[in-house]
Chain A
């Protein structure tokens, strides 16, 4: 998996780079338009993380170049502007996803994986983790195979898949709650709701005999682990 990160803010770039390395991606970085263009011309990437506002040009122009050259690199736009116009423009120019700063890395991670999965769609559609098998298009989860899917609610399913695609990292409660409820629910309440959702999910996983364990890390976040 090869990533290209184009971001002008040095601290942000460093964080993104660290995150990519932790996730096990090979990653190149570029801190301005010129560098980004050079990289794009030289190599093919599975996914490009592209900041729209660059000091010497716009990320939209890079998108256009990619489009003209028929490159199949997946692109996730990062923008500080949560503007619908930007979003539509970016997606119209061939970007695969759009994230507004500030975002959670767990969210970015899930989206990168979704893009990569889409690219490998035909060969490997199912997601496997421990003895869990997930069919992302039909939102079903089974043990070993999909013959007896678990009866999970929509939210439980979302929590489980989010934890699985981020299994190498701790997902903070805040980011998980935001992933599930967005702005609909206030933080304090959402923690209670999240707690009961996870408790139910844990129970269902245990009953089904899944070899996974969702652990609470110091009350700050959750992480999913395989158990043997």
Chain B
């Protein structure tokens, strides 16, 4: 749920609750007011009536005269003394509209010409349902009107107010540490947003700095390793050339040479990765895919023979793509190496290329964790010779070249596709 609709919803709910409470209160106050009013009228009527009857004792007080709104009931003195004046609601049947109407009734006890009477005066009063109806219609209308206006204005205002926030969010969403520049967040007049803006800018800047430092560190470290590695390697070469070497010594030296070679390769690969990440390669070459594939395939002749692998190459025309020659070579080499090294006896390697993309398919029984496939140092096999860096590099190269590297598989067929 969007923040905007969430707040609007909450506000509308609070609005509704408030309106409910107010309507009830309003109803209570109004009906109390109406009753007070009616009671006052009844009391005045009683006083006028009594005063008039005192003045005109000759007037007979008929028991039930439909022309007036009062009735006198003769009573004895005891009843008169015990009687108390009271106001009450009552329902009276109205034959005209055939329903019970609400009336207010004053019951009082009076002494008139030395006779005791119970006097009842009735007055119709505003009906509760009517009051409620009126309130519901007016206040309800008001509520809906207000809510609608509120909703609309809120949407419009919020959209304007939150616009910088959404702009920031958008920038953050597209923010990638690999990107060369730190995103510039739009300035805002609103203090909180400006604060958020400053904090975000600072955070991304720091993040970037840490990332850059780390990259720099890897680059520098591998770089610094080059010279000592050269020295070790040259000394080993010199040692091998010594004629008085015994076989046991030679075996030890061979071990050292092997390990040195591995460090060397790892170091070289790390340097390459760091360089790709630092975008030290221009992407302005016209890369001839066909030539690179054919040249690379030559290096895998031995693999092909060793495992009796069927190689099928289908290149449509001579596709040329914009990129970096050396990087594309590494990319293709890594994909082919992956296809040949992780293959089956009597297996297959298929290379298909055209202007749109390059597909390398191989047969393999290895299970691959798709999530980790392009991660550094992920190995699906236990081959100690493999660093698990080849596909990570291929992925990075595709990324910096603005291409897409995809993996899919069905049964024993594993397919890597580069979309140019």
A218 contacts B229, C-beta separation under 8 Å: no
A220 near B227 (CB under 8 angstroms)?
Answer: no
CB-nearest residue of chain A to B280: A83
Instruction: Write the nearest CB–CB distance from B356 to chain A, whole angstroms.
Output: 26
**Contact A174-B257, Cβ < 8 Å, known A12-B231, A184-B299, A185-B299:** yes
Least CB separation from B223: chain A residue: A80
B402 close to A (CB within 8 Å): no
Chain B 262-287 residues near chain A, CB threshold 8 A: 262, 264-265, 268, 271-272, 275, 280-281
- Among residues of A, the one whose C-beta sits closest to the C-beta of B337 is A184
Looking at B47-55, B96-104, B234-242, B368-376, the stretch in contact with chain A turns out to be B234-242
Q: Are B333 and A186 in contact (CB-based, < 8 A)?
A: no
Chain A 1-54 interface residues, beta-carbon cutoff 8 Å to B: 9, 11-12, 15-16, 18-19, 22
A85 partner residues in chain B, CB cutoff 8 A: 280
Measured CA separation A220–B236 after assembly (Å): 11
Contact indicator B265/A183 (Cβ below 8 Å) = yes
Say whether A182 contacts B250, CB under 8 Å. Answer: no
Task: Judge whether B247 is part of the interface by a CB distance below 8 angstroms.
Answer: yes
B237 touches A175 (CB 8 A): yes
Q: How far is the CB of A226 from chain B (nearest CB, A)?
A: 17
Interface hit among B63-71, B113-121, B300-308, B403-411: B300-308
Whether B176 sits at the interface, judged by CB under 8 Å, is no
| One of B227, B245, B258 near A80 (C-beta < 8 A) | B227
Residues of A within 8 A of B261 (CB): 174, 178, 187
Interface membership of B326, Cβ < 8 A = yes
**A82–B230 Cα gap in the complex (Å)?**
14
Which residues from B are CB-within-8-Å of A178? 261
Mask, B360-380, CB within 8 Å of A = 1, is 000000000000000000000
Whether, in the assembled complex, A172 has its beta carbon less than 8 Å from a beta carbon of chain B, the answer is: yes
49-75 of chain A: CB within 8 A of chain B:
none
* A84–B257 CB distance below 8 A: no
- Secondary structure of the B contact surface, majority rule: helix
A192, B302: Cα distance in complex, Å? 9
Write the chain A residue with the least CB distance to B383: A186
The number of chain A residues touching the other chain, given as a range, is: 35 or more
In the complex the two chains form, what is the Cα distance from A28 to B336 in whole Å?
45
Contact between chains at A193 and B257 (CB < 8 Å): no
Q: Which residue of chain A has its CB nearest to the CB of B232? A: A102
Q: Which residues of A contact B333 (CB under 8 A)?
A: 183-184
Q: How far is the CA of A105 from the CA of B261 in the complex (A)?
A: 14
Find out whether the CB atom of B227 lies under 8 angstroms from the CB atom of A9.
Answer: yes
A184 lies within 8 A of B258 (CB): no
Write the chain A residue with the least CB distance to B334.
A183
A170 shortest CB reach to chain B, Å: 5
| Shortest Cβ gap from B292 to chain A (Å) | 12
* Inter-subunit contact A105/B234 (CB<8 Å): yes
Across-interface contacts of B262 in A (CB, < 8 A)? 187
- Complex interface: chain B residues within 8 A of A19 (CB): 234, 238
Taking CB atoms and an 8 Å cut-off, the chain B residues in 23-73 that contact chain A are: none
Q: From the candidates A11, A101, A189, name the one contacting B303 in the complex (CB within 8 A).
A: A189
Give the distance to chain A from B345, nearest Cβ to Cβ, in Å.
14
Known: A82-B268, A185-B299, A187-B385. A105 touches B227 (CB 8 A): no
Can you list 15 A-B pairs with a CB-CB distance of less than 8 A?
A: A82-B271, A84-B280, A102-B226, A102-B227, A102-B230, A170-B241, A172-B237, A178-B261, A185-B302, A187-B261, A189-B302, A192-B302, A192-B306, A217-B250, A218-B251
Interface residues of A (CB under 8 A from B): 9, 11-12, 15-16, 18-19, 22, 80-85, 100-106, 154, 169-170, 172, 174-175, 178, 181-189, 192-193, 196-197, 217-221
Closest 6 CB pairs between A and B? A218-B250, A102-B230, A184-B299, A80-B226, A193-B302, A15-B234
Could you list 17 further interchain pairs (A-B, Cβ under 8 angstroms) beyond the known A12-B234, A15-B234, A100-B226?
A11-B235, A12-B231, A15-B238, A82-B272, A85-B280, A101-B226, A154-B298, A169-B237, A181-B299, A182-B299, A185-B337, A187-B385, A193-B306, A218-B250, A219-B254, A220-B250, A220-B254
